[in-house]
Structure 1
């Protein structure tokens, strides 16, 4: 690779492509001795339409993401990566992945899956992945099954 990546962001959502993105992120971070940031975003907009109490659903979703991140951290450390930083955010996943977290953490590579859990909505709204590719301030690696 031409770039000497130091801060790599992998967006994880539990999908198969996100799992592949994680594997690529771990391998690249090991090769470059980089910090690996694992980001899960609670989509505030998606759960705001729930009939349950918003704060209860939000807390449950955040807890589920945190448990999933623990598995990802375990995988990364088992693969020999020492510098892994989990991030769970609440908000718009597109903006969090593409600009907010990369700018706050000085990310120089973002790794995302080609599709995530929201495949049905992608035809209506445009995919998170395409938004990230268009809007990110750094290189983006898109991983496919």
Structure 2
């Protein structure tokens, strides 16, 4: 039996891993046919701004503007590939819960395609990985993208 996913959610954060998840999600949506919906989400983690004493709304606006530009480019790329039913949303709050439960529940997602975490083991222990949380708590299937479009492992450039 071939699984036909109809509503695919792709969290994007500007990372290479998220971009690869987007590219693979477009390919999956195209294979699954006309009715497939692809929704991109960028979550602005407002908790990151709470510790900044000079916090003002202009910081959130800057982050939001950058996210909109990135998401608009992704939409353009998806439509150029032939995908019609593609949209995005920008959310504010805790990325883990928003990506794993809130948006998938609201849109009735049947697949989340998410990039593999870029964190090392110590960082995951201290702050936790969004990808790890989503795979454990999502209300639908989750596909963690670890390879490029040729199914080759993602290589990190050395600094």
TM-score, normalisation: structure 2: 0.84
Report the Cα offset of residue 50 of structure 1. Answer: 2.4
Ranges in structure 2 where 5+ consecutive residues have no aligned partner: 147-153, 155-159
Among 106, 113, 116, the residue aligned to 2:115 = 113
Question: 1:40 — aligned with what?
Answer: 42
Ranges in structure 1 where 5+ consecutive residues have no aligned partner: none
Q: Give CA-to-partner distance per residue, 1:18-48, whole Å, 9 cap, x none.
A: 0100011100111112100000010111122
Distance 1:12 1:42 in 2: 11
Greater per-residue helix proportion: 1
SS in 1 for 2:39: strand
SS in 1 for 2:126: helix
Distance 2:136 2:142 in 1: 9
Q: 5 Å matches for 1:1-145?
A: 2-33=2-33, 34-116=36-118, 121-144=123-146, 145=154
The root-mean-square deviation of aligned C-alpha atoms, in Å, is: 1.6
Give structure 1 regions of 4+ aligned residues with deviation exceeding 6 angstroms.
none
Distance 1:30 1:3 in 2: 14
**Is the Cα–Cα contact under 8 Å of residues 48 and 54 in structure 1 kept in the other structure?**
no
SS in 2 for 1:8: strand
Which protein has the larger Cα radius of gyration, Structure 1 or Structure 2?
A: 2
Distance 1:50 1:75 in 2: 36
Distance 1:142 1:133 in 2: 8
Distance 2:2 2:49 in 1: 41
